[in-house]
Amino acid sequence: MRYISTRGLTAPLAFSDAVITGLAPDGGLLVPESIPDVGGELEALSKLSFTGLAKAVLPRFIDDIPPSDLSKLVDAAYADFDCADVVELRQAGAIEVLELFHGPTLSFKDIALQFLGRLFAYILEARGERLNLLGATSGDTGSAAIAGVRGQPGINIFVMYPLGRVSRLQELQMTTVADANVHCLAVQGSFDDCQTLLKGVFGDLEFKRRLSLGAVNSVNWARVLAQVLYYGYASLRSPAPPSFCVPTGNFGNVFAGYVAKRMGFPIDKLIIATNENDILSVFFASGLYRRGEVRFTISPAMDIQVASNFERFLHYHLDGDAEALRAFMADFQARGEARLPPPGDEVFMATAVDAGGTLEAIRDVHRGTGYVADPHTAVGLAAARRLSVPSPVICMGAAHPAKFPEAVNEAVGEPVAVHPALESLRGLPERRTVLKAESAAVKAFIEANAGSGQRSAG
């Protein structure tokens, strides 16, 4: 299986190269040349555990790592999750919640990043190379990426986050990690500024090559791939093809659902639930993709205007027409908006939920069922309750409520949102560097901290 760029100007890459490269050299995102079809094997796949399904599905997308090695990577990645089978389906009234936050940093991102960290280490060791990872986080990605690679030989990680725009607990989950290969960069700007910096630094191809820079943000194909697994897993445990309701910002999580559906897993609708940053829900209703000002909400991991994975969806929506995609993206880049015919509601439904609706969903669901949802999951629950969906609805449980205690405790009216792993972080020593939102500052920091023994990745 080879990987091609959505922009069509990069020669096809093997899986391992796609993982190390992150963003394609032509500025596009990497997608598999074709999507494997598992529609004829659902009966057998439905009997597998989460890791069993991973071992059965991943080799269809990965043909340059022996399945026995992949199998070990999968076992190592998911060994530390604190529930019976990596993810957990919980009933919250009429809606089921697929809890994806049983990994080390308590958000769904651990599912992808525990796997990606080990994949990086494996590929680098085989090649005798080193890698400097650079990522931008709106909160949860950073800690999950750090947890995935902390202490791994051959890897340094640099994580930018918007200063004062991530919750205190999210910041502690990053800045209290003592491993010397971890560097936290607090940027004086918004998350979109961090993403712009990221694109800028990666756009300097000479710098990227010289520093062996790799990406760990949601554009890495391996992250999408790991997330496909839980859609498959949950769809095969539902009495009828379910609809998944997905709180989203970067379109990463919901795009994985789209891939799972295209693979033939029994999935009905994909419901895109955004907060007030509604660029995606506006697009799916009208075909207009228009950038607005970022609004800061109680679901901060979704405070995103430019959805980095949206380009992958466009690739399929435009039937692989790279020229049309480049024109759309250039339009958007130049004017802050671009337009297509609205996609219709055959696969996607979309709605935006404001702070009032989010808090109300936390409160109502807690009163009615005892279930405590974090504000991101609650955006999904509110969307699912609002839309009339003909199939059973599974809402993605994005984070443990204790990561966002202020909003959750306010909504419920009592201090229900606690988790011992988070409490133990308070008072630990912290390390972080505050930087201006300028790519020169970021590059200088990376250059100074890339570590001894740095050698270029051939």
Ligand X SMILES: *Cc1c(COP(=O)(O)O)cnc(C)c1O
- Strands (E) in 207-336, as ranges, are 213-215, 243-247, 270-274, 288-290
Pick one of 10, 21, 253, 277: the residue that binds ligand X (CB under 6 A).
253
User: The tokens of 341 are what?
Assistant: 């015919």
What letter does residue 340 receive in the DSSP assignment?
A: -
Report the candidate in 67, 158, 77, 85 with the shortest Cα–Cα distance to residue 119: 77
| Site mask for ligand X (CB under 6 A), range 203-242, x = bound | ---------------x------------------------
**Minimum distance between the CB of residue 254 and ligand X, rounded to whole angstroms?**
6
Indicate the residue among 38 and 256 with the shorter CB distance to ligand X: 256
373 binds ligand X (CB under 6 A): no
Binders of ligand X: how many residues, by CB under 6 A?
Answer: 18
Q: By CB under 6 A, name the one of 32, 252, 257, 357 that touches ligand X.
A: 252
Q: Could you tell me whether strands 270-274 and 182-188 are parallel, antiparallel, or unpaired per DSSP bridges?
A: unpaired
User: 141 or 152: whose CB is closer to ligand X?
Assistant: 141
Annotated catalytic residue within 47, 72, 109, 208: 109
Point out the residue whose Cβ comes nearest to ligand X: 252
**Residue (111 or 149) nearer to ligand X, CB:** 111
Positions of E strands within 281-424: 288-290, 337-339, 348-352, 393-397
SS3 of residue 404 by DSSP: coil
SS3 32: strand
> Closer CB to ligand X, residue 246 or residue 435?
246
CB within 8 Å of 353: residues ≥ 6 apart: 273, 274, 275, 361, 378, 379, 382, 383, 386
301 part of the interface to ligand X, by CB under 6 A: yes
Q: Is 140 in the site for ligand X (CB under 6 A)?
A: yes
Catalytic site includes residue 269: no
Contacts of 258 (CB under 8 A, 6+ apart): 270, 313, 316, 347
Cα angle value 182/152/162 (rounded, 5°):
25
Determine which residue in the list 10, 114, 248, 358 makes contact with ligand X, applying CB under 6 A.
248
131-136: strand order across its sheet:
213-215, 131-136, 155-162, 182-188, 433-436
Site map for ligand X, 396-415, x if CB under 6 A?
--xx----------------
Region binding ligand X by CB under 6 A among candidate stretches 246-254, 314-322, 335-343, 414-422:
246-254
Instruction: Note whether 399 and 101 are within 8 A (CB).
Output: yes
Report yes or no: 224 and 215 within 8 Å, Cβ to Cβ. no
Nearer to ligand X, 215 or 399 (CB): 399
Residue span 26-65 as binding mask against ligand X, x where in contact by CB under 6 A, dash where not: ----------------------------------------
CB closer to ligand X, 211 vs 216: 216
Catalytic machinery residues: 109
Task: Note the residues at the interface with ligand X (CB under 6 A).
Answer: 107, 109, 140-141, 218, 247-254, 301-302, 376, 398-399
